Structure 1
Amino acid sequence: MSSDFVAYVHELLAPLGNVRSKRMFGGVGIYINDLFCALIADDYLYFKGDDENEAEFIAVDCPPFTYEKEGQLFSMRYYRAPDEALDNPHEMSRWARLGLAAALRKAANPKAKAKKAQPKVSKKLSPTQLS
């Protein structure tokens, strides 16, 4: 992951509040005003999804964040920011606000059970599929 990309994301998200990042699980967690609302993995930015905003990400084909564990591919409710948003601060603000709103809803209802990461593939992946 590029430190230049992380710095660029900070710059894009700065109008929304105090932005900070924290390394985690091989990626970077992004916090706005101390709310975990996005992550960066492999130089892609993903925003937090939930029942209220997920359809907007899916409607424009934003893929979910996925990771491999024990031969299975898992998907989380974080959706990649549209490519055009990375070049347009106004557009980025729109998508970032969706992730921030999901983080606010979660903070307002901490007892709400989060959906666990779901396998995207139910079979073991072969070594050639992992590369």
Structure 2
Amino acid sequence: MDEAAIADIFAAFGPVRCRRMFGGLGLYADGLMFGLVVRDHIYLKTDGDFARALEMRGAEPFVYEARGRKVTLSYWMLPEAALDDTEDAAELARTALGIARRAAGDTPPGTRKPRAKQSRRERIPGQDIT
């Protein structure tokens, strides 16, 4: 699958940057990897709930073999129907990007809560400061 086809599939999502990696492509938006392409299949970053939702749509996890063992990553195949429905693909990509943000400990600009200042007592445990 080439980069033009990926851009078409995710047209309603917005710009997707592709970066070559491990014989496939990493899919990036806002500087975060939210998906990958391996052997002409698109896989999206998932968590437990999203993986179950994709599984109910017939998707399968990304599995590879290393040192004689099967390794399953938290990426699941884009459902077949989403390949022809840019709105569906965009919604799934937004969900995957949100999961990638949470996994990276990142939040969209302007949503981060300010940290409370620590008192000196909290910074130096075990010392009595009076």
Query: Normalising to structure 1: TM-score of the pair?
Result: 0.73
Deviations 1:53-86 (A, max 9, x none): 2221222231000111122221111000001100
Deviations 1:16-73 (A, max 9, x none): 3331111111110000121100000000000001134222122223100011112222
Distance across 1 between alignment mates of 2:55 and 2:83: 18
Q: CA RMSD in A?
A: 1.9
1:33-52 alignment runs, 5 A limit? 33-52=30-49
Is the contact made by 2:44 and 2:76 (CA closer than 8 Å) also made in structure 1? yes
Distance across 2 between alignment mates of 1:108 and 1:52: 18
Structure 1 residue 96 and structure 2 residue 93: aligned?
A: yes
**Corresponding residue of 1:115:** none
Task: Name structure 2 gaps, 5 residues minimum.
Answer: 107-130
Query: Normalising to structure 2: TM-score of the pair?
Result: 0.73
Equivalenced residue count is 107
Bigger share in helix: 1
Is the contact made by 1:45 and 1:81 (CA closer than 8 Å) also made in structure 2? yes
Among candidates 13, 16, 40, match of residue 13 of structure 2: 16
